[in-house]
Amino acid sequence: MGAGSESKWRIAKALAPLVHNHVVRRPRSPASAGSLHLGPLGHLAAGAAYLATARRQQRSDQTTATQLAWPTVSPLPPGLELTWIGTAGFRIAYQGTVIWIDPYVTRLSFGSLVRRRIVPPSADAVARWIDRADAVLVGHTHFDHALDVPEIARRFGCPVYGSTSLAHLMQLHGLAERAVVVEPRRSYEVGPFRFHFVPSVHSKLQLGLGIPYSGELTCDHVDELIPQAYKCGQVWGIAIEVAGWRLYHQGSADLLEDEIVDRGVDAFLCGISGRRFTPRYVERVVRALDPKLIVATHFDDFFRPLDAPSQFSFNVNLTGFADEAHRAARDVPVHTLEVGKRV
């Protein structure tokens, strides 16, 4: 063990009692026996513990991703295409119509985030990764969900659907006419696709206490669009019907159970980053949607370029998610997709 590894091990060992002492233990019931909710210091300790075992966890998650790989015989209806482009981004195509959900291809660096640098959408990245767009649907307006949307709309002349924050972002880029501010549960149609938006919430990534960059996107000029300026805005789950199938996309790992009426969906596109900050997230969302299939998403390191070898997001624990999903719905298959591979 090298000096750096030994130091990380000592930190993790010293902080281990915090994980135990700052766990909020919820009442045990048949549905939630053994579930734990970490307090703020517990989250800090868990993060430090991850740093001490990061390589091992990355290997474990890679093994899990391989085991959960999309099956050779696709369960999708004939003609329906599904492509993951990292983070919560998807391309869904049917009968010549292509819609995108939360496409993010520019991939600003972590250094740009820390230094609060303005990173405009990359026209080159959009040209490389986005082949066609008849509509873009946006679950919320953090940069890893919305930064590239104006450039896609400009390139393809398509409408974009989402919140008032998204409409403001489009206005900043001179594309106000492309924005559709959605109404909860109102049905919209694009070609063979029908979809509606379901009120939701963002996970509290700030140690379980708050949402990062919360509130509405309000800056007055594109020159003010540092990463932190991409405020969350209204959060939506997105329900889609196409080819006789029903899909549900949840880009942030939290929910409002009372708002969900789309039970029995055929495929649940499940964002898993940040779920540890939402008590019993997997159990609750699976119970609310009762899906026939779960596709794990938003587990990759979105500060890395899309064409770089994929790595996992900090402490995302894909392996743990697979176990949680199995406990929540033992007979429901869980799969992962490779970035850019159409299935």
Average pLDDT of the residues of the chain:
87
218 alpha carbon, distance to own chain's centre = 23
Confidence of residue 7 (pLDDT cuts 50, 70, 90): very low
- Tokens coding 338: 């490779």
Per-domain residue ranges of the chain: 1-52, 53-335
Other Cβ atoms within 10 Å of 196 Cβ, number: 20
* pLDDT attached to residue 1: 44
35/324 Cα distance (integer angstroms): 10
What CATH number was assigned to the domain covering residues 53-335?
3.60.15.10
Which residues make beta-bridge pairs with 336?
69
pLDDT, tens digit, for every residue of 222-234?
999 999 999 999 9
pLDDT, tens digit, for every residue of 258-309?
999 999 999 999 999 989 889 999 999 999 999 999 999 999 999 999 999 8
* Angstrom distances, CA of residue 259 to CA of 26, 55, 237: 24, 39, 10
Confidence of residue 213 (pLDDT cuts 50, 70, 90): very high
Using an 8 Å Cβ cutoff, are 217 and 162 in contact? no
* pLDDT attached to residue 36: 53
* pLDDT attached to residue 316: 84
* pLDDT attached to residue 54: 73
Share of the chain above pLDDT 90, in %: 74
* Choice among 38-42, 133-137, 226-230 with the minimum mean pLDDT: 38-42
Is residue 219's pLDDT more than 80?
yes
Confidence of residue 22 (pLDDT cuts 50, 70, 90): very low
Smallest CA-to-CA distance from 269 within 232, 298, 303 is with: 298
pTM, to two decimals: 0.85
Confidence of residue 56 (pLDDT cuts 50, 70, 90): confident
Is residue 17's pLDDT more than 50?
no
* pLDDT attached to residue 27: 31
Share of the chain above pLDDT 70, in %: 87
Confidence of residue 5 (pLDDT cuts 50, 70, 90): very low
